Amino acid sequence: MPLKSHSSRTEKGPGFFSREELRLENADEPWTEEDFNKALDMHICATSSPKQIGLRFGRSEDSIKRGILALCKNERGLLERYQPKGRTSRRGAPFNQTEQNLIARHAEFGFPTEWTAKLLCREANEIRRDSEGEAKVSRMREVAPLSDLCWAHAYLIHSARRQLISAQAFETMVAEEREFGGAVGLLPAKFSNVVTDYPAHIRSLAYYLLFKDQQKKGKWNADDFPLDWKPK
């Protein structure tokens, strides 16, 4: 019995179904803006794999990867022109692995931070590294545990209205403590702006950090301290 030619064998797809039988419903249809943004959300938020996204929208895994990759690499100026509509805001959320990978690749490509920010639905200052603020936090860790520093800076930002580090450096510090810190459950989902919600030792640490910052700048002034700083 003669063997079938190679060309006849390749007419069948995986599992010996015909290519027509394997054809996906929307594989060749142009994306609607709404569906593409939904698929992009599923990818950026890391809630679904390309295969799962493909099943959701009736497309192949490869076509999902190609579409997202074309945007992420700014092929034909796609990312430069892209404007997110109906997307889920990621502002203030911890960075997942997908986002971290995208940020790293965009840095390699030399893309403007604003392009990355609109793709991730974040503020640009969340993505820019605050080297000075991170260095400040590193020095502060020599005098207090990171969980206490999170609380002290939260008090200064939300209650005392005295900010020593950028919002990005603060969020990075809190995210690190939540993910890697040993004091699980000590940090709330949202910090309060009520003075009495911060224990006395936290406020004392905050005052010390504020004093050291003013001392370093050579402009120590007790009037710049929060009204509740003096001992009762």
Q: From first to last of the 232 residues of the chain, give the pLDDT tens digit.
A: 343 433 333 444 334 444 444 444 455 577 888 999 999 999 998 888 888 998 888 888 888 888 888 888 999 899 999 999 889 898 878 788 888 888 888 888 888 889 999 999 988 877 776 555 666 666 666 667 888 999 999 999 988 888 888 877 888 888 888 877 765 577 888 899 898 899 989 998 998 888 888 888 777 666 666 655 544 4
Q: How far apart are CA 133 and CA 141, in angstroms?
A: 13
pLDDT of residue 124: 84
- Written as six digits, the tokens of 145 are 């545990």
pLDDT of residue 188: 85
Tokens 């990075």 locate to 172
CB atoms within 10 A of CB 163: 13
Q: How far apart are CA 126 and CA 169, in angstroms?
A: 9
From residue 42, give the alpha-carbon distance in Å to each of 29, 32, 56, 57.
20, 16, 10, 11
- CA nearest to 149, candidates 187, 190, 196: 187
Q: How far apart are CA 22 and CA 216, in angstroms?
A: 69
pLDDT of residue 28: 56
pLDDT of residue 11: 43
Q: How far apart are CA 72 and CA 51, in angstroms?
A: 18
- Contacts of 154 by beta carbon, 8 Å cutoff, 6+ apart: 170, 174, 191, 198
Sequence ranges of the domains in the chain: 21-127, 131-224
- CA nearest to 169, candidates 199, 146, 203, 202: 146
pLDDT of residue 1: 38
pTM above 0.85, yes or no: no
Q: For residue 59, with 0-12 CB atoms within 10 Å meaning exposed, 13-18 middle and 19 or more buried, which class applies? A: buried
